[in-house]
Amino acid sequence: MKPITTEKIVKIIEIENTLVFEIEREKNKEEIKKEIEGLFNVKIKKIRTLIRGNKKRAYVTLDKKNPAIDVATKLI
C-alpha cells in the first residue's frame, strides 16, 4: 500500500476528507479497512476502489472526527 499525492488528490483530501492509496489488486475493501484503521488509528466512513490498467486505487473517506489532512501530513 502506497499513498498517492498529486495536486488533484490534495484537493480531494481537503474537500472530501478522503485519502488515496495505490494497493494490491487482490485486496478487498474489508482488508483495506482493517489495514488503514490499524496503521493510522482512524475510523473509516466509506471505501471506493478503482482499477485502471494494472493498478488498483482505494479512495478512503474518513469519519468527520478524523481529518484526512492530519493523516496525510504524517505520510509526507
Structural domains of the chain, ranges and CATH numbers in brackets: 2-75 (3.30.70.330)
* pLDDT at residue 33, as a whole number: 95
Residue 21: predicted pLDDT: 95
Specify the pairing of strand 2-3 against strand 18-23: antiparallel
pLDDT number for residue 60: 96
pLDDT tens, residue by residue, 11-40: 999 999 999 999 999 999 999 999 999 999
Neighbours of 76 (CB within 10 A): 7
Does 63 or 75 have the greater pLDDT score?
Answer: 63
* pTM (two decimals): 0.90
Q: What does the pLDDT read at residue 1?
A: 87
Burial of 70 (C-beta count, 10 Å sphere; 0-12/13-18/19+): exposed
